Structure 1
């Protein structure tokens, strides 16, 4: 069937070019190869399409009827190739992005210029802290933070975010302000699980490792921030996530000379090759925006 399609396309080119030799030049093959392929097409279907002489060709009645359909087939194939080119070069269609709840706030300002510049591009943002399956959810691009589990998905590191200790002023007024990492053991904590392992690096390169048990827990980063603002304890937070709270004074840094390990931010896609333009442009736009966020670190 594939060879038949090629011969039909070749026949359309011969009719359009007006001769076997002109068609051969356009296709970059020999005139004898064109003649041979047309003969195979005629023999396979038991119909004469062309009357050939040494100087010219004459299209038979059956050939004339077929030529219109063959040209329509070629035109449709050209339009299909144009769509592939557009998908490769111009952002369009629905862009499905998955992001954690705390991270979704960065998606709108990052992609607003891209959406404004490309009216044919639409956005569907799926916000969920759960690690959804990209293929099942038909996700084009997922934004992830932290250590990634092994998978067949493709991850590209966009940047890293600074991690800092913080607390509400009311909590520190009640419980006291830690002066050294060892003081943290006497405080209440907010975290994502039963045990929180802290690895803090000082300005001189000193590293302190502590294990604390949170009093308040959540698997949602936004909820952790709200619990911290409510004065329920200390937390180790992504600076970009709590920047507004720091500026307003609802949270303040604790032990500002100590930092947790930077948390990497990833763009994750289902496959490596053949990424459509909407995915490539979106990932680049998000990366550019993230590097302007307070606490972002270029990797």
Structure 2
């Protein structure tokens, strides 16, 4: 079987870094996944290419010979890519990001401008509401809101503040009336949202009064889309991100309830392990986010700071 160019490039990366961890981070793979790729390459060629110990990795004689032959070809490929428009120092590689569904609000508008500015970078974004261990699962970075950020991570705001809204169908308001105070909602039908961390509580704040409680209702969903669908059908009041309800509110399919009790909160953060040399694609994305935050107000800057989470 003829080995793939990708596998040969991975071998060169392991040899260059003298180990699997840094090479895996550069390639957007887990160390174990990279090790399996190299073992498969060795099996295909019928020769051991790397000497592995608990402290170091180095090419065998066969590995050295192979690397010497493929190095010019890999360099020619890099040169060919540069010749069609990529600058010599342009970041290349794959960027893998794990994010909750809600992060689509902030992350979605960033993908087009970033990828247009960095044609050598490919992205893979996995939306997952579970609290994934990004490093262990082979991701370069994750996205979370401040209360769920992992410790000892670098965090960079993805965008500005966001806001929840409580919505209901006009038919429901006609049936039960428009609440004038959050306490009135305790006995009214609600559509509850359950995420991996548990049921989402409703929180209201106005002046110095803060009210927080678990809504009661016959319907519990794990999808905001399903919750909005049920709300349009008049099954109950539903709390969701303002951006997700905007079209329904504009069309009159839903109405906002107790809107002056809903206060903005910090949007999501991109977080990643503290390391001296992050992968080029991740560094490019972080630099892109920081540059947007330095833009004039109204053009995408975020209000929150960044730094290590302790």
Q: Normalised by the size of structure 2, how large is the TM-score?
A: 0.58
Q: What residue is the counterpart of 2:234 in the other structure?
A: 231
Question: Is 1:253 aligned with 2:256?
Answer: yes
Q: CA RMSD in A?
A: 3.8
Q: What residue is the counterpart of 2:271 in the other structure?
A: 268
Note the 1:19-58 alignment, pairs <5 A.
Answer: none
Note the 1:144-163 alignment, pairs <5 A.
Answer: 144-145=144-145, 147-148=147-148, 150-158=150-158, 159-163=160-164
Note the 1:52-71 alignment, pairs <5 A.
Answer: none
Would the aligned equivalents of 1:201 and 1:261 in 2 still touch at CA under 8 Å?
A: no
Q: What residue is the counterpart of 1:98 in the other structure?
A: 98
Query: 1-side partners of 2:101 and 2:200: how far apart?
Result: 21
CA spacing shift, 1:261–1:113, aligned 2, 3 Å = closer
2:243 is paired with a residue whose SS is helix
Instruction: Give deviations 1:41-76, integer Å, cap 9, x for gaps.
Output: xxxxxxxxxxxxxxxxxxxxxxxxxxxxxxx9xx99
1:142 is paired with a residue whose SS is strand
Query: 2-side partners of 1:128 and 1:271: how far apart?
Result: 23
2:259 is paired with a residue whose SS is coil
Question: Is 1:216 aligned with 2:207?
Answer: no
2:274 is paired with a residue whose SS is coil
Query: 2-side partners of 1:280 and 1:105: how far apart?
Result: 22
Would the aligned equivalents of 1:143 and 1:267 in 2 still touch at CA under 8 Å?
A: yes
Aligned residues: 219
Query: 1-side partners of 2:287 and 2:224: how far apart?
Result: 25
Q: 1:199 aligns with which of 191, 197, 203?
A: 203
1:161 is paired with a residue whose SS is coil
Would the aligned equivalents of 2:163 and 2:265 in 1 still touch at CA under 8 Å?
A: yes
Query: 2-side partners of 1:135 and 1:234: how far apart?
Result: 38
Q: What residue is the counterpart of 1:55 in the other structure?
A: none
What is the Cα deviation at residue 178 of structure 1? 0.8
Between stretches 193-202 and 243-252, larger displacement belongs to 193-202
CA spacing shift, 1:221–1:297, aligned 2, 3 Å = farther
Query: 2-side partners of 1:108 and 1:211: how far apart?
Result: 30
What is the Cα deviation at residue 247 of structure 1? 2.1
What is the Cα deviation at residue 148 of structure 1? 0.8
1:268 is paired with a residue whose SS is strand
1:103 is paired with a residue whose SS is helix
Q: Which runs of 5+ in 2 are unaligned?
A: 1-67, 79-85, 305-310
Look at both structures and tell me which one has the larger radius of gyration over its CA atoms. Answer: 1
Q: What residue is the counterpart of 1:133 in the other structure?
A: 133
Would the aligned equivalents of 1:166 and 1:253 in 2 still touch at CA under 8 Å?
A: yes
Question: Is 1:298 aligned with 2:303?
Answer: yes
Would the aligned equivalents of 1:145 and 1:265 in 2 still touch at CA under 8 Å?
A: yes
Query: 1-side partners of 2:202 and 2:245: how far apart?
Result: 18
1:90 is paired with a residue whose SS is coil
2:101 is paired with a residue whose SS is coil
Q: What residue is the counterpart of 1:278 in the other structure?
A: 281
Would the aligned equivalents of 1:171 and 1:231 in 2 still touch at CA under 8 Å?
A: yes
CA spacing shift, 1:211–1:241, aligned 2, 3 Å = same
Instruction: Give deviations 1:1-58, integer Å, cap 9, x for gaps.
Output: xxxxxxxxxxxxxxxxxxxxxxxxxxxxxxxxxxxxxxxxxxxxxxxxxxxxxxxxxx
Would the aligned equivalents of 1:101 and 1:220 in 2 still touch at CA under 8 Å?
A: no
Would the aligned equivalents of 1:163 and 1:239 in 2 still touch at CA under 8 Å?
A: yes
